[in-house]
Amino acid sequence: MKGEIKMDFGVTGKLWEYGINSRTGAVAEKNVDGSFAEIAAAKVAEKEASLGSVNEMRTTGANHYMGESYEERISKITDKTAASAFQTAYAKKMAGATDGISTISRAYSTGKAGATNFEDAFPQYDVITHVGNANISSGNWQRNDFPFWKYFDKNTSADALNDWKPEGANPSQMRSDLQRNYNSVGSGRIAILVPESLQQKMDADPEYARQIMAKLQAWKEDYDRWDNTVAASYGYNVAEHQAGKSYVFDLDENGDVRNCTVTSPGRITVSSSEFVEARKAREAKHAEYEKLAEESALKRKMLEQEIEERYYKSNLVNQAVFNAYEKSIVEL
């Protein structure tokens, strides 16, 4: 696979780095679904049983994930959560696992038998194909403000954004105008940029077209298995997360994924750094609230003790006064 692909998982709040560009709309997080939490933790024995063959695959590089060898892909992953999920997803793929996450990921990348066009290859989605010569640098594509959402407009040409120029530093995915644009994409959509030379070869050779469809289906299934594994680790409902995704695929002349952006209404699909930092900020704020609550509880307890002590001392004084009064009465 040519070109560096950066994934922002959920944002567009970036959840983690896959080495793919994935963005998520910042909406309320999904509730944890116990069954999917179990799925994320399931098949441990199956994974362990496959480690020997996986290690051999890593050494030989004979088996690929998203068009790359294990070493090529893992070397691009900077986030620990994403790296751990990739190792799990890779092992599941090589072992032919049929767990819930793998099944869901495969179902959304399975099309009509013998598909020779993208609509039949991905019948679960609203597919928009733009035939033309897109020429977007990896650096521009990975910008949070790169207007990829325009590719979901059927009237946008493949080369419409070739001259797009960034302004200033890369903005946060959480910027309000970007969030509106991300969320405007919606769910269940795929936009594909197809070079003219590739389209011509597919039109001339149906068998070649079938190979291109199968290649993209395999790439997407790999990505989804990995992405959904990450989602499960963060407590997302995997079925809802998968159903909510939309994709932009920028293919090269060989039908390989050159650039990709994935959006999800509940998360990042992102440069994980921002999402991870946002999560850490939430955790820090939660910890701060807990600390304040503890301090408040301690202050209340100290105040109660002080009041009790004052009451006790007051009683002692009152008792002393009463005793002195009684004594004076007796003496009289």
Predicted confidence (pLDDT) per residue in 152-169, tens digit: 999 999 999 999 999 999
- Token representation of residue 108: 């959304």
Q: What is the 3-state secondary structure (H, E, C) of 28-68?
A: CCCCCCHHHHHHHHCCHHHHHHHHHHHHHHHHHCCCEECCE
Q: Which of 51-55, 70-74, 218-222, 304-308 has the lowest mean pLDDT?
A: 51-55
User: For the ranges 22-36, 102-116, 128-142, 218-232, which has the lowest average pLDDT?
Assistant: 22-36
Asked whether the predicted pLDDT for residue 102 surpasses 90, the reply is yes
DSSP state of 162: T
* Main-chain phi, psi angles of 133, to 5 degrees: -105, 85
- What confidence score (pLDDT) does residue 303 get? 78
Q: Please give the C-alpha separations between residue 261 and each of 29, 124, 222, 256, 313, in angstroms, as whole numbers.
A: 20, 18, 15, 14, 71
pLDDT at 317 over 80: no
Question: Whole-structure pTM over 0.85, yes or no?
Answer: no
pLDDT for position 309? 74
What's the rounded Cα separation, in Å, for the pair 203 and 201? 5
User: What number is the average pLDDT over the span 105-123?
Assistant: 97
